Structure 1
Amino acid sequence: MDTSLRPNAYPATENARKHLLMPAEEMSKLGTEVRPLLTHGEGVYLFDESGRRYIDGPAGMWCTQIGYGRQEIAKAIADQAMKLSYNSPWYTINSPSSELAARIAEKTPGDLNRIFFTTGGSTAVDTALRFTEFYNNVLGRPEKKKIIVRKNGYHGSTQLTASCSGREGNWPNFDIANDRIKFISSPDKRHRGTRSEAAFLQDLVEEFESTIDEIGPDKVAAFLAEPLLASGGVVIPPRGYHARIKAICESHDIIYISDEVVTAFGRCGEWFASEKVFGVVPDIITFAKGLTSGYVPMGGLAISERLLARISGEAANGSYFTNGYTYTGHPVSSAAALANMDVIENDGLLEHVRKVGVYFAERLAGLATLPSIWDVRTAGLIGCVECITEPGRTFADESDKRLTGVVDRLCFERGLVVRPIANMCVLSPPLTINRQEIDEMCDILRSAIMDATTETQ
Structure 2
Amino acid sequence: MTLAEKPAPDAVTAGRNAADHLWMHFARMGRYAEKPAPVITRGEGAYIYDDRGRRILDGLSGLFVVQVGHGRRELAEAAARQAETLAYFPVWGYAHPPAIQLAERVADLAPGDLDRVFFTSGGGEAVESAWKVAKQYFKLLGKPTKHKVISRMTAYHGTTQGALSITGVPAMKQDFEPLTPGGFRAANTNIYRATQHADDAEAFGRWAADRIEEAILFEGPATVAAVVIEPVQNSGGCFTAPRSYFARVREICDRHDVLLVADEVITGFGRHGAAFASAKFGLQPDIITCAKGLTSGYSPLGAMIASERVIEPFLADKVAFPHGYTFGGHPVSAAVGLANLDIMEREGLYQRVLDNEDGFRATLDRLRDLPIVGDVRGDGYFWAVELVTDSATKAVLDADQRERLVRGFLPSALFEAGLYCRPDDRGEAVVQLAPPLICGQAEFDEIEQILRGVLTEAWSLL
Same-fold status (TM-score > 0.5)? yes
Q: Could you tell me which residue of structure 2 aligns to residue 75 of structure 1? A: 77
1:211, distance to aligned residue in structure 2 (A): 1.6
Q: Could you tell me which residue of structure 1 aligns to residue 111 of structure 2? A: 109
1:73, distance to aligned residue in structure 2 (A): 0.1
Q: Could you tell me which residue of structure 2 aligns to residue 424 of structure 1? A: 430
1:251, distance to aligned residue in structure 2 (A): 1.2
Cα distance in 2, alignment partners of residues 372 and 241 from structure 1: 30
Confirm whether residue 15 of structure 1 aligns to residue 17 of structure 2. Answer: yes
1:34, distance to aligned residue in structure 2 (A): 4.0
Cα distance in 1, alignment partners of residues 285 and 397 from structure 2: 33
Q: 2:185 aligns with which of 183, 186, 205?
A: 183
Q: Could you tell me which residue of structure 2 aligns to residue 220 of structure 1? A: 224
Alpha carbons of structure 1 residues 190 and 436: separation in structure 2 relative to 1, 3 Å: closer
Q: 1:146 aligns with which of 145, 148, 164?
A: 148
Alignment deviations for residues 170-227 of structure 1 (CA, whole Å, 9 cap, x no partner): 1231114263111111111144236233443333233222221111111110001111
Cα distance in 2, alignment partners of residues 112 and 437 from structure 1: 35
Q: 8 Å contact 1:389–1:399 — kept in the other structure?
A: no
Q: 8 Å contact 1:410–1:452 — kept in the other structure?
A: no
Alpha carbons of structure 1 residues 430 and 335: separation in structure 2 relative to 1, 3 Å: same
Q: Could you tell me which residue of structure 2 aligns to residue 398 of structure 1? A: 399
1:58, distance to aligned residue in structure 2 (A): 0.6
Larger CA deviation: 154-163 vs 33-42? 33-42
Confirm whether residue 203 of structure 1 aligns to residue 220 of structure 2. Answer: no
Alpha carbons of structure 1 residues 77 and 446: separation in structure 2 relative to 1, 3 Å: same
How many residues are treated as equivalent by the alignment?
A: 446
Q: 1:450 aligns with which of 446, 451, 456?
A: 456
1:33, distance to aligned residue in structure 2 (A): 4.6
Cα distance in 1, alignment partners of residues 11 and 45 from structure 2: 26
Alpha carbons of structure 1 residues 135 and 185: separation in structure 2 relative to 1, 3 Å: same
Gaps of 5+ in 1: 1-6
The 5 Å alignment of 1:161-310 reads 161-177=163-179, 179-193=181-195, 195=197, 196-276=200-280, 278-310=281-313
Q: 8 Å contact 1:42–1:69 — kept in the other structure?
A: yes
1:82, distance to aligned residue in structure 2 (A): 0.5
Q: Could you tell me which residue of structure 2 aligns to residue 125 of structure 1? A: 127
Alpha carbons of structure 1 residues 176 and 33: separation in structure 2 relative to 1, 3 Å: farther
Cα distance in 2, alignment partners of residues 85 and 10 from structure 1: 36
Q: Could you tell me which residue of structure 1 aligns to residue 348 of structure 2? A: 348
Q: Could you tell me which residue of structure 1 aligns to residue 159 of structure 2? A: 157
Cα distance in 1, alignment partners of residues 47 and 277 from structure 2: 26
SS of the residue corresponding to residue 172 of structure 1 reads: helix
Q: Which amino acid aligns with 2:340?
A: N
Give runs of ≥4 in structure 1 deviating > 6 Å. Answer: none
Cα distance in 2, alignment partners of residues 334 and 159 from structure 1: 26
Q: Which amino acid aligns with 1:426?
A: Q
The 5 Å alignment of 1:343-382 reads 343-382=343-382
1:28, distance to aligned residue in structure 2 (A): 4.5
Alpha carbons of structure 1 residues 39 and 28: separation in structure 2 relative to 1, 3 Å: closer
Q: Which amino acid aligns with 2:361?
A: A
1:448, distance to aligned residue in structure 2 (A): 1.2
Gaps of 5+ in 2: 1-8
Alpha carbons of structure 1 residues 311 and 296: separation in structure 2 relative to 1, 3 Å: closer
Q: 2:136 aligns with which of 124, 134, 137?
A: 134
Q: Percent identity?
A: 39
Alignment deviations for residues 288-322 of structure 1 (CA, whole Å, 9 cap, x no partner): 00000011110001100122224423xx5x32112
Cα distance in 1, alignment partners of residues 326 and 146 from structure 2: 29
Q: Which amino acid aligns with 2:435?
A: P
TM norm structure 1: 0.93
Q: 1:48 aligns with which of 23, 26, 50?
A: 50
Q: Could you tell me which residue of structure 1 aligns to residue 5 of structure 2? A: none
Q: 8 Å contact 2:314–2:320 — kept in the other structure?
A: no
Cα distance in 2, alignment partners of residues 371 and 223 from structure 1: 38
TM norm structure 2: 0.92
